[in-house]
Structure 1
Amino acid sequence: MPLRRPSLFAAVIAAASVASLASAVSPAVASAATAPAAAAPIPLLPSRTAPTAGDHLTVTVSHSGGPATDGTYELRCHPAGGTHPAARSACALLDRLTTWGSDPFAPVASDSQCTMQYGGPATARVTGVWAGRPVKANFKRSNGCEISRWDRFEPLLPATAS
């Protein structure tokens, strides 16, 4: 489930709850809590509909089988930009992969049962910040699970020649 902003209704309920709690403590606190001039804006949670301005990644690809796709690229999202050759579609992919409570860049679980196949020598490293969290992920194509993980990240990672 994608991250969502609290609704205006939720913000009003939260403000009313603060005022009610304040009046139970002291009438002076209650008047201060409900005074419009003293009211502070309610902070909104980060969401994919209003992304963190700091979403940026550095992608380094080696041995992909295509000299044009090997190298280091900068990716900035919201709005899409940087030196990544498919910035807009890479940002859209990352938005789709980002859900509350999960790390889209998580490695393959160590207890996974993976097919014994080799997807080639391609490697990639992704570092930076995504959805307000630091990213430090390594990709390879050493078995079926790693190949699937790499493929799930195309076009952030290039399609390989192997």
Structure 2
Amino acid sequence: MLIRHLSSRLLLTAAASVAALTAVPATAHADTGPTRIPPSPYGSLDGWGGGALGTVGGDHLTVSVVDAGAGKDGTYDLRCHPDRGTHADPAGACKRLDELADDDQDPFAPVPKGTYCTMQYGGNATAHITGTWHGHRVDSSYKLTDGCEISRWRRMVPVLPATTP
């Protein structure tokens, strides 16, 4: 008798729970799935070519350099808009990144897959840049292992130190 009472009570509780859940309107659910954010009415402000308007709040990067030579190795803080930090040339580095972004180039883009590169070696130097630039997360590595990578590094001077192969 007690088991029959408990099982009918459990069944009644389960039925009441299902009824309560199905009575909630769909718009009240917290998980509504992925949502597409509409494009910005301000054009390039949310892209790389944002200029000063696209960088409200400033940009913050950490630049780490290894094996680039005496006085060039280390980890540096770079903040732009306004330009400051422990980087050797924050104004020059921020200006260079702005120039690349104003030309609608992603300053941190890797060499595209399938690109033919000259077989040359520019040295042991490596660099890693992390942080936020123009509202985008940055996690980019640099090396001097072939002509494409050497060119990519040189394009980032003075963000990265100048090296001589």
| Same fold per superposition (TM over 0.5) | yes
Corresponding position: 1:131 with 2:134: yes
The residue number in structure 1 matching 2:63 is 59
1:104 positional shift: 1.9
> Which residue of 101, 112, 115 maps to 2:118?
115
Distance 1:147 1:160 in 2: 9
Counterpart in 1 of 2:37? none
- Structure 2 residue matching 1:89: 3-state secondary structure: helix
Q: Which amino acid aligns with 1:130?
A: W
Q: Tell me the distance in 1 between the aligned counterparts of 2:151 and 2:109.
A: 13
- SS of alignment partner, residue 126 of structure 1: strand
TM-score by length of 2: 0.67
Structure label with greater radius of gyration: 2
Partner of 1:157: 160
Corresponding letter in the other structure for 2:112: A
| Root-mean-square deviation (Å) | 1.7
- Which ranges of structure 1 fall in alignment gaps of 5 or more residues? 1-42
| Count of residue pairs brought into register by the alignment | 119
Instruction: Say which SS state the counterpart of residue 98 (structure 1) adopts.
Output: helix
Superimposed CA distance per residue, residues 73-107 of structure 1 (whole angstroms, 9 cap, x where no aligned partner): 00000110000001000000000111486522010
Q: Is residue 84 of structure 2 the alignment partner of residue 81 of structure 1?
A: yes
Q: 1:143 aligns with which of 123, 132, 146?
A: 146
Identify which of 46, 51, 70 aligns with 1:48: 51
